[in-house]
Amino acid sequence: MKLVLCALSALFLCAYARSTTYQQPISPQITSLTDKDARSKARVHPAFANAGRQAGVEVWRIENFEPVAVAQKDYGKFHKGDSYIVLKTTADKRNNLSWDIYYWIGSETSQDEAGAAAILTVGLDDKFNGAAVQHREALGYESAQFKQCFPSGIQYKDGGVASGFNHVVTNAGAEKRMFQVKGKRNVRVRQVDPLISSMNKGDVFILDKDQDILVFVGEKARNVEKLKAISRRGHSEILHNLGIRYQRHRAERKRGGR
C-alpha cells in the first residue's frame, strides 16, 4: 500500500510540474522510473545519503534522470535546459532540523527531466520521513523564499545537459553574451540578447565580449544592482559607448513612432 501511495504521489508531482505547459502523457523514459526498483532507488538515492544533516543549502542538477551534486561555487547558476533540486536545511535554537525541498524547472528542460526532478524530490522527502516541505519553482517565477537560498543572486544560463551546454562556452572567440542585472533585495542575473534593444535605463547590463567584460549602468539603476554588477564583472569598465548608442537607439525609436 505504501508503495502504491508513493507512486501515485510521484506521478501527481510529475503532472503538476508541467501542467501549465505540457498536456501529453509522461513519456516511456520517465515511466520506467516508476517501477519497483527505480522508485526504491529514488527514495534512497546514494546522492542524498548525507543530505540535510546540518544547516545550509545543497543543490543537485538532474543529469540523465540522476541527481548530480552541484559545486558550491556554482550555487545560484541555473541552466535553462535543466532541472534542479535544492535542499535548504534550517536549525532552530535547540539544533532541531527542518527541511525545505525545492525542485526548479528550467524553461527549456525536457518533460522527462522535470518528471525525474519531481520523483527524486519525493525520494529526498522520504529520507526525512515526509517531514520536509516541498516547493515547485519555475524559471522567472521563483518565490522570495527560494531566492533567499542564494544571497549572491540567481543567474540564468543558456543550454543544459541534453545540449551539452553548447550555448554557454566562456570567451568562445567573438561570441558576445549580455546579462541583465535586475531586482531589489534579491537580485537576479539573466542572459539576454546582446542587442541595444534589450537594454533599458533602469537596470545594469554586463557585456561579455571575448576577453573584455564591459558594464553599462542605467541612470535609474538601483545601488544594489550596481554592487551586484561590480561583484560579477571582474576587470571591467563602464560601457560609455554602449550607453551613447542606447540613447541614440531610443531617440530613433521615438522619431519613428511619430
- Please report which confidence band the pLDDT of residue 212 belongs to, taking 50, 70 and 90 as the band edges: low
Report, as an integer, the average pLDDT of 127-139.
92
Report, as an integer, the average pLDDT of 119-131.
90
Report, as an integer, the average pLDDT of 11-37.
38
Q: Which residue has the higher pLDDT, 258 or 140?
A: 140
Give the per-residue pLDDT at 104: 96
- Where would I find the H helices in the chain? 2-18, 28-31, 36-43, 111-127, 144-147, 223-233, 240-257
Give the per-residue pLDDT at 60: 98
Residue 45 has pLDDT above 90, yes or no: no
- The C-alpha cell of 229 is what? 554588477
Contact in structure between 32 and 64 (CB atoms under 8 Å): no
Find the largest Cα–Cα distance for the chain: 70
Long-range pairs for 43-47: beta carbons < 8 A, 24 or more residues apart? 43/6, 43/122, 43/123, 43/126, 43/127, 44/123, 44/126, 44/127, 45/120, 45/123, 45/124
Q: Which residue has the higher pLDDT, 77 or 4?
A: 77
pTM above threshold 0.75: no
- The SS3 assignment for 11 reads helix
Q: Which residue has the higher pLDDT, 13 or 131?
A: 131
